[in-house]
Amino acid sequence: MAGILIIAEHRQGQFRPVTLEAVAAAEKLQASSGESIAVAVIAPQPAVFVPWVSVSAVDEVVTVTTPNAEFDPDVTGTAVKALIAARKPSVVLMPHSVDSFGVAPAIAAELGVGFATDVFDLRYDGGELVATRAAYKEKVFVEIDFPGKETVLLTIRSNAFKPAGGTGQPAVTEISVPGIEPRTEHLGWQEPPASGGIDIPGAEFIMSVGRGVGDEANIEQFVELAEALGATLGCSRPIADNGWLPKARQVGQSGKLAANCKLYIAMGISGAVQHQWGMKHVENIIAVNKDADASIFTVAKYGVVGDMFEIAEELKAQAGGN
């Protein structure tokens, strides 16, 4: 038995949609290979999550019942290794998450399968799997192949693929895995840092600022402009790295994906590939940059070669006149 196997993820009793992004990645492979797609739900009550993963691309849902309510690397690792041994999938996909960090490397090392993390693109080239990820602090993209590996385990970067949708009727297979006893005790959850209500992935209108802003003192006028326009303020990595705006506003490969954005205004952003990744789902991009050769113009639908401060003043005036 071969095919593509996806390990579903849940936390605090809630299904995590990143699983459907992994399904979308599998669907891309399926288009060229014709392989079946199965989703494994490893949980104390796996049937609860079956409807969530019953999307049109999924052929089968495999359920494994565990004794623990929350994630345990030993339990999940034992279950995944048993599934790989029994089903011999060509590709195993997991979300690139803190849970995967605790189990995926150990599985790959113990079984000797091909392995790559933080993958944001994948394809078959001449029948061989090729995975793409970033390296050297996001400065280059690396294509990785896996010669001689019958099974490859990949963790998929969040927001790299639009979640798979549609309604399917996959077969449901219940599998019993012996020896899946937890070795740790879950004590509780600590609340994550507050984002301050910033929601880059959910915003429909984003205006981002880049190096062209020049100085931290100039940020406030773009905060005011975004508010006047009804836009969510975003930024490029240098602005977040300098602490001029919070990390939650960063758009790009090491930041957030503008997943639902309908209109994106890039002010003083050169357009490095890492930032372009954050805008890849946006159809309407307006770029403002005084450098006519800036890379941002290669992806923009509309471009303005000019001073971002002058354009900002005009936009503010127009917004105030409405």
Do residues 9 and 52 lie in contact, with contact meaning Cβ atoms separated by under 8 Å?
no
Is it true that domain 4-174 has CATH number 3.40.50.620?
yes
Question: According to the model, what pLDDT value does residue 1 have?
Answer: 56
Of 36-50, 60-74, 157-171, 188-202, minimum mean pLDDT range: 188-202
Distances (CA, A) of 131 to 20, 67, 69, 154: 18, 34, 33, 8
Q: Which residue type occupies 143? A: E
For residues 7 and 241, which has the higher predicted lDDT (pLDDT)?
7
- According to CATH, the superfamily of the domain at 205-320 is TPP-binding domain (3.40.50.1220)
Question: According to the model, what pLDDT value does residue 223 have?
Answer: 94
Do residues 273 and 298 lie in contact, with contact meaning Cβ atoms separated by under 8 Å?
no
| Tens-digit pLDDT profile for residues 193-226 | 555 678 898 899 999 999 999 999 999 999 999 9
pTM higher than 0.75 for the full model?
no
Do the domains 4-174 and 205-320 sit in the same CATH topology, yes or no? yes
| Tens-digit pLDDT profile for residues 97-112 | 888 988 999 999 999 9
The whole-angstrom separation of Cα 128 and Cα 261 is: 34
Distances (CA, A) of 111 to 28, 72, 105, 142, 200: 26, 19, 10, 24, 39
Q: Where are the domains of the chain?
A: 4-174, 205-320
Distances (CA, A) of 205 to 109, 226, 300: 44, 9, 15
Element (H, E) at 26: helix 18-33
